[in-house]
Every structure is written in C-alpha cells, then in structure tokens.
Amino acid sequence: VESMKELPSGAGKIPRLNAVVLGEALASEEDDLVVPSEDFSRQALVSSPQQYLEMYSKSIQDPAGFWSEIASQFYWNETWGSEVFSENLDYRKGAVRIEWFKGASTNICYNALDRNIKAGLGDKVAIYWEGNELAQDGQLTYKELLEKVCQLANYLKSVGVRKGDAVVIYLPMLMELPIAMLACARIGAVHSVVFAGFSAESLAQRIVDCKPKLVITCNAVRRGPKTINLKDIVDNALIESTKNEVPVGLCLTYENPSAMKREATKWQDGRDVWWQDVVPTFPTECPVEWVDAEDPLFLLYTSGSTGKPKGVLHTTGGYMVYTATTFKYAFDYKPSDVYWCTADCGWITGHSYVSYGPLLNGATVVVFEGAPNYPDAGRCWDIVDKYKVTIFYTAPTLVRSLMRESSKFVTHYSRKSLRVLGSVGEPINPSAWRWFFNVVGESRCPISDTWWQTETGGFMITPLPGAWPQKPGSATFPFFGVQPVIVDEKGNEIEGECSGYLCIKNSWPGAFRTLYGDHERYETTYFKPFAGYYFTGDGCSRDKDGYHWLTGRVDDVINVSGHRIGTAEVESALVSHPQCAEAAVVAVEHEVKGQGIYAFVTLIEGVSYSEELRKSLILTVRNQIGAFAAPDKIHWAPGLPKTRSGKIMRRILRKIASGQLDELGDTSTLADPGVVDQLISLSDC
Ligand code: WT7
C-alpha cells in the first residue's frame, strides 16, 4: 500500500492516503464510509483522490507556482515581485512573519464586484436577502450591489475615512452588513465587524482597542419573536469608550423600519446620522483605492484562553486568493449554484464564506436576518425551496437542534435543489452527520465538514465533496497548500495512526499576520508552544487511512454552539459581580450547543446562595459579554480545589461538572482535599 512519498528536503510531506488512493475497497473494513455518487463525482471540480493528490502534491512541492497560478485569475493593479511569499514561522530565527504577494497591489472589493461585472455578471443576483418575517425579502444584482457599496464608500470618504483607518461595524444580517464591509475594503479602510449579539461592554472593549473613525450600526433588529434595540447598546458602548479616552464622533445608523421607527430611536444630535438620509445622496461610482497585498483588510476579535479578546488581523491579497479558492473547491462551486451559509458576518465564517469567498466567485448568496427556528423548525427548508439553494452551509449545533424536532419539518419541503451540504464550528458528531446527510440531503449531498479557525482565514482541513469517500465526523484531508502535523507534548511530529496536538507547518495565503497591536502575544500564543509550527489549540487524531478527526480545544477555550469563548473571560465577568468572590469555569458536553458553560462560584463571606443571585450572576455575564456566553449552570462552591501553590485544578472541576465522580484521580495534592466532597454534595443545588 502506497503511503508516503518523500519530497525534496525542506518541503512538506503529502498525507498518507493508503488504501483510498489505490481504490481499495475500504467499505468492506469501514462500515461507516460514505462514498459520493458517480453522478456527483463525474461533474465535480475534483473528482477523485488521485486528482486531489496531484494538485495537493503540486501545492506542497511548489507553493509559489501553485498559488501564483491561481492568483493570476484575479485583478492586480501591479503584480508581485520575484517572491510570491516569504515567511518565518520559527521564533528562534527572528520575528514570526508571513507575507504573500507582497509588493502587488489590488483591491478585494474590485475583485468581488467590478471584475465580475466586467465578466458579464452585472445582472446576476449577488444577494438574496431574507428577513426575519416570512415574505420579507429583497435582492441585489452585482451591479446594484456595487452601486450601494460605492455610495457608502463615497460617504465614508466624505467624513474623512482614509486608507488604513478602522471602522467598527455593529449590524445584524441586513444587506447593509456586507455592503459596509465591501465599502471599507474599496477605500482601504480596515473593518472590524462586531457580532451584534455582543454586549455594550464587549463592543466598547473592541472600540477602545482599534479606535475607529466611526461606528456603523442600525437602530434595532427583530430576531425571531424578539426586538433587540441595537442603538441603545451602541450608545452605552460609546459612553464607555469615551470614558476610556476613545471618543467616537460619528455613528452612522441604518433605520431598520420593520424593527423600529426612527422616531422611537434615542438620538444624539451631532454624533448620530441616519444612513438613509446621507448615503443615497452620494454618487454610485467610487474609484478604487489600490492597496498592497499585505495591507490590512480587517480585524476580527476572537477569544483566547487568557486575557482580553485578540484582534486577529488579516491582510488583503493572500486572504482574497485563499477564501475564493477554498470556497470554490470545498463546495464544488458552479456558476449556477445558489449558496446559503447560515453564519452571521460577525464571525469569521460570515467574513470568508458569506461575503468574500462567494462574491469573489461571482456566486449568488442568501443572507438571512432571522432565526432558523422562526416561525417554526421548517424555516431553513422553506428558504432552501424559496431560493432553490444548492449549497447549504451551517453549524452542527443547528443540525442537532433541528434534529430534535419532528422530521416532518424537513420533509414538508422539497429540498430538491440541494446538492452540497457543509458543516463548521465544532466537530460534528456522527449521529448529527447522518441525520444531516440522510434526512436533509436525502443521502444525495456530500457533506463538507470544514475545519478552520478565525486565525486561518479559510478552510484548512476539509473534504472535497466529489473526491473523498467520507467518514461521518471526520474533516478528512488538508486543503491545497496546507500541511497539518500532529505533534506530541514535546513538539515531535508523530506519523501514521496517532493523536496529539494539531499544528501547521509553513504558511498558507489566508493565514493571519498578527494580533493587532500585540505581535508578541501572536508569537507567544501561536508559535512558541511548538517551535517552528503554528499551533492551532486543537487536538486531533489521524486514523489508519490518513483521515483527520478533530477532537476539540486543548486550551481553556470553550466552543459554545460554534462560538469561541475563553473561560477567563466568563470568570472575569462573574467576579465583577459584587457578591462573587471567585469563579472557575469549565466546559461540559451539551446536547445541542456541543459544549456548555459550567461555572463554579464562590460567594463573598456572609452572602448565601439563592435563585435570585444565580439569575443576577448570569445576567452579569450576559451584560458583559453577550447572551451566548451565559453559563448553563452555576455550581455553588464554598471553596475551589487548589494546589498548595494556589492553582485551581480544573481537571477535577471538569470531572465534577460532568458527573464522572469515579474518575477524580489523585486529590491528595490539593491544599484542602475536603473541598471536593463539599462540591459534590452541592451538585444539585
Ligand atoms: C475553532 C475555531 C472557523 C469557523 C468557525 C469557528 C473548532 C471549527 C471545526 C470542524 C471540528 C471545528 C475548532 C477550532 N472548529 N470548525 N469542522 N470540526 N472543530 O471559528 O471561533 O475561530 O473557532 O472551532 O476547535 O479551533 P473560531
């Protein structure tokens, strides 16, 4: 059986493909193998493991040649120099640095809109917008989208936004959200989208960090049966940021009339401006600001295991090439597709695979403002039928929540248009995978289980739907140009069937370049744990056929419904409560969310626990971070298990939280072993 080909020294290795490559009947050994239909494979961009292998080998042996050939399909105002990329991932050899296409100038908005329009897609629908309520919808062709983007870009210029300036965007899934992102990109401004589920304090923290020229928001949004007053949240955030010496003098506010009339909106004259009053008065053409491939495109804040959120910085050229290419291959994109990704643009998935990746391909994208279970659990399939969606990309948490409802909500709709499904955010458990595959996709649509991160910009390990026999729950093999390695605690690469820490060797075009304002933290967090590699923070195993199985975070990051949240952030929110003395947060398995947040809380002397206090602690976390970070459980803790040096032993807390009381292990090193029994006795309070 063919296993590993040796490559010239310095280059990486191709993955073990073993039996799959040779077309051996894996199915006989692996009952779980799901093979794409011949019809699907025949029409696919990559239709066999062999074809993948050829392309993959080229991408690893000659990354410069591979990526420059792809990059030449885009428009560059000036091309790059002799070096396609240059990098240093080894901090021992100097500062960590990644550069792709440096010296070339381009514009991602131009490539997504103008270039596609020039190629004849002007009248093609770029965005179908579906509102919260049934029958509330809209659409924009590529030409119309460009006009809207140009008007906003011109407005931004008129208020003094220049290349390199930051713009914070706090919007729900209206068309104005991708419009705002593209308008910033057009003039070289750096957008920082903050998910509109974050609280005023979280928004303020991000504003203080990146000091935007203005904030773009809307007055309110309907989500399911609820109305959320976003403008109030922004107002509070701006008060907070002013206290921290970052006053923002301009708040461009879109009136979202189906949620709230402008008369009902709190207003600060001089600072607040209605989008509808100013933006449409600007010309529908706006010249492009050419930027260097390595100029920043956006900042997106994400949680780490310690400290405040990190501003992940992506640059222009590499990100453009990478998101477009991964989108195309991982979803087997064809011009006739209608694509819907349920993610919000407030997360990286919405950046790379609602906005940039699909639009760069000239795709038709569905943007959905509402909640997937409103008015009922059939909403997604209603939308699929309405727009004849062919590619549907979502998160395991949504699959699991819909799976709990009657399958009539699915089968009531035709879903005939669907041909590719996608999953992202956390490992998809095999039973959810099967329900998604069998019930939603009628066993006809391959599932692309895409593993990647905010930091990676785009897909890293993903099936190519026509190429791979799939194993439910495995993200399969690396994308072109990506060299995943599994290392042990000492940082030694382990080969063959194994499990360990997932690292990436060498750079890829979509990699983040730094943490905004803190390159040292960038190096410490990602490049120092295992010298010479990018460390992902995930555990991973590789099976005998070379398939990758992601096993979740190995650091103190919790993945709640595919949203990343640091235990330290939740803890610091809890201890800010006047009656909380100490808190320790761990992840527990959660049937729908994947992981839930479990908080052990010690109250200050003299305060006793109550239902009211529990609610007030949870509210504190909602107010400081956002509703999605609210603990699922508060466990009263008279004391926490600590070592003699005062370190909290989370290992023990995790066991208590998950009820694995017979696996507590050695508790004799605790300063006070008695706290463990105390905690166990309080489990049900
Ligand atoms: C973390 C990154 C990038 C998409 C949205 C989340 C987990 C993501 C998968 C997957 C197993 C996955 C990892 C990763 N993750 N996709 N297909 N299979 N795990 O982005 O907030 O940056 O979180 O999400 O643990 O490290 P993010």
DSSP assignment of 155-218: HHHHTT--TT-EEEEE--SSTHHHHHHHHHHHHT-EEEE--TTB-HHHHHHHHHHH--SEEEEE
Q: Report how far ligand 1's centroid is from the alpha carbon of 556 (Å).
A: 14
| Ligand 1 and 450: CB distance under 6 A | yes
Q: Report how far ligand 1's centroid is from the alpha carbon of 142 (Å).
A: 31
Question: Which pLDDT tens digit goes with each residue over 144-166?
Answer: 999 999 999 999 999 999 999 99
Question: Which pLDDT tens digit goes with each residue over 30-39?
Answer: 457 899 999 9
Residue 583 clears pLDDT 60, i.e. is over it: yes
Q: Distance between CA atoms of 277 and 597, rounded to whole angstroms?
A: 43
Q: What is the DSSP string of 420-472?
A: EEEE-SSPPPHHHHHHIIIIISTTTS-EEE-B--GGGSS-SB---TTTPPB-T
Mean per-residue pLDDT, 93-108: 98
| Ligand 1 and 426: CB distance under 6 A | yes
Q: Distance between CA atoms of 629 and 626, rounded to whole angstroms?
A: 6
Of the chain, the percentage scoring pLDDT greater than 90 comes to 91
For residue 611, name the pLDDT band (cuts at 50, 70, 90): very high
- Give yes or no for a contact between 353 and 343, defined as CB atoms under 8 angstroms apart: yes
Higher pLDDT, 324 or 672: 324
| pTM of this structure | 0.94
Which of 193, 453, 461, 476 has most ligand 1 atoms within 8 Å of CB, for mutation?
Answer: 453
| Ligand 1 and 315: CB distance under 6 A | no
Q: Report how far ligand 1's centroid is from the alpha carbon of 517 (Å).
A: 24
- Give yes or no for a contact between 630 and 622, defined as CB atoms under 8 angstroms apart: yes
Mean per-residue pLDDT, 453-464: 98
Residue 15 Rama label (left phi>0; alpha psi -120 to 50; beta): beta
What pLDDT does residue 304 have?
86
Q: Report how far ligand 1's centroid is from the alpha carbon of 429 (Å).
A: 14
Residue 17 clears pLDDT 90, i.e. is over it: no
> Closest ligand 1 atom, CA of 456?
3
> Closest ligand 1 atom, CA of 536?
26
Which residue is it, tokens 């590499």? 318
What pLDDT does residue 12 have?
37
* DSSP β-bridge partners for residue 587: 597
Which of 322, 345, 451 has most ligand 1 atoms within 8 Å of CB, for mutation?
Answer: 451
What pLDDT does residue 26 have?
44
CA atoms within 13 A on the CB side of 186: 30
Q: Report how far ligand 1's centroid is from the alpha carbon of 563 (Å).
A: 8
- Give yes or no for a contact between 389 and 338, defined as CB atoms under 8 angstroms apart: yes
> Closest ligand 1 atom, CA of 553?
25
Q: Report how far ligand 1's centroid is from the alpha carbon of 476 (Å).
A: 15
Q: Distance between CA atoms of 195 and 228, rounded to whole angstroms?
A: 13
Residue 590 clears pLDDT 50, i.e. is over it: yes
Q: Whose CA is nearest to atom 19 of ligand 1?
A: 426
Q: Report how far ligand 1's centroid is from the alpha carbon of 597 (Å).
A: 17
Q: Whose CA is nearest to atom 18 of ligand 1?
A: 427
Q: Work out the mean pLDDT of the chain and round it to a whole number.
A: 94
Q: Whose CA is nearest to atom 1 of ligand 1?
A: 453
What pLDDT does residue 31 have?
55
Q: Whose CA is nearest to atom 10 of ligand 1?
A: 451
Q: Distance between CA atoms of 535 and 478, rounded to whole angstroms?
A: 15
What pLDDT does residue 305 have?
82
Looking at the chain, the number of H-run helices and the number of E-run strands are 24, 31
| Ligand 1 and 553: CB distance under 6 A | yes
Q: Distance between CA atoms of 576 and 613, rounded to whole angstroms?
A: 14
Residue type, 420: V
- Structure token digits, residue 610: 């109550």
Q: Whose CA is nearest to atom 11 of ligand 1?
A: 427
Which residue is it, tokens 């304002």? 517
Residue type, 651: R
| CB contact set of 676 (below 8 Å; sequence gap of 6+) | 641, 652, 656, 664, 667, 670
Q: Which long-range contacts (CB under 8 A, 24 or more apart) does 525-530 make?
A: 525/304, 525/310, 526/455, 527/89, 527/90, 527/91, 527/96, 528/91, 529/491, 529/501, 530/487, 530/491, 530/501, 530/503
| Ligand 1 and 561: CB distance under 6 A | no
Residue type, 648: I
Q: Report how far ligand 1's centroid is from the alpha carbon of 684 (Å).
A: 32
| Ligand 1 and 565: CB distance under 6 A | no
Secondary structure, 3-state, 216-262: EEECCEEECCEEECHHHHHHHHHHHHHHCCCCCCCEEEECCCCCCCH
Judged by DSSP in three states, 551 sits in: strand
| Ligand 1 and 564: CB distance under 6 A | yes
For residue 276, name the pLDDT band (cuts at 50, 70, 90): very high
Higher pLDDT, 32 or 26: 32
| Ligand 1 and 303: CB distance under 6 A | no
Which of 450, 471, 564 has most ligand 1 atoms within 8 Å of CB, for mutation?
Answer: 564
Of the chain, the percentage scoring pLDDT greater than 70 comes to 95
| Ligand 1 and 586: CB distance under 6 A | no
Q: Report how far ligand 1's centroid is from the alpha carbon of 501 (Å).
A: 15
Bond prior to 280 in cis (omega within 30° of 0): no
Which of 452, 460, 557 has most ligand 1 atoms within 8 Å of CB, for mutation?
Answer: 452
Question: Could you give the C-alpha distances from 566 to 145, 400, 411, 597, in angstroms and in order?
Answer: 37, 23, 38, 10
What pLDDT does residue 142 have?
99
Mean per-residue pLDDT, 245-262: 96
Question: Residue 499 is inside which H or E element, if any?
Answer: strand 498-505
Beta pairing class for 447-449 and 483-487: unpaired
> Closest ligand 1 atom, CA of 455?
22
Angle of helix 674-681 relative to helix 650-657, nearest 10 degrees, comes to 30
Mean per-residue pLDDT, 42-62: 97
Residues acting as catalytic residues: 555
Question: Residue 332 is inside which H or E element, if any?
Answer: none
